Amino acid sequence: MVDLDPNANVSELTELRCRTGGLGTAMTTALASAGADIISIELPNDSGSENTKKVVEECGRKYTRYECDISNRQQIRETYRQMWSDGIVADIVLNCAGVQRRAAAVDFTDEDIDAVIDINLKATLVSCQEFAKKLIADKRPGKVINISSIIGMSDSREPLGRKRPPFVDCS
């Protein structure tokens, strides 16, 4: 549950994410609980989409889904154009898509590098651009939330499921 100022304008959330799971779903649920309708940009055939929709609707909020290959910047831009054409008015964008490759950085293939940069960096930046362009054109304020998992700060060569010590930044 999110404790919001009762005067806050949280009418709709536009969310760009790679999969419907983890941090994105937790924050989507919190925002829906606080009164946000959810517009989710997801990968085609995302297996977690129905669960996220169910959780949002259980909060009494509306859930609208757009499909997009988020590694493709042009598709992201087209998806935003379609949303605006459909009359979507969003106040918040939550960017939480991310991928990781389980290899030492020196062993990354060109495809690994492209996937990580295209999704973790470029998709987030393009989403911010498209959201900001609409806010500026409409002369409206908005909020941008960009998050990533702390798993990116860990040794990516460790097998999944292995217990890791907590990450502590002492700088």
* Number of domains making up the chain: 1
The answer to whether residue 164 sits within a structural domain is no
The answer to whether residue 33 sits within a structural domain is yes
Whether the pLDDT of residue 149 is over 90: the answer is no
Q: What percent of the chain has pLDDT over 90?
A: 40
pLDDT, tens digit (0-9, with 9 covering 90-100), for 113-136: 998 899 889 999 999 999 999 999
The answer to whether residue 59 sits within a structural domain is yes
CATH for 138: 3.40.50.720
Q: Report the C-alpha gap between 123 and 54 in whole angstroms.
A: 26
Q: Report the C-alpha gap between 100 and 151 in whole angstroms.
A: 8
pLDDT, tens digit (0-9, with 9 covering 90-100), for 40-63: 998 888 888 888 899 899 999 999
Would you state the pLDDT for residue 5? 42
Would you state the pLDDT for residue 11? 52
Domain extent, residue 125, equals 12-153
The answer to whether residue 69 sits within a structural domain is yes
Whether the pLDDT of residue 66 is over 90: the answer is yes
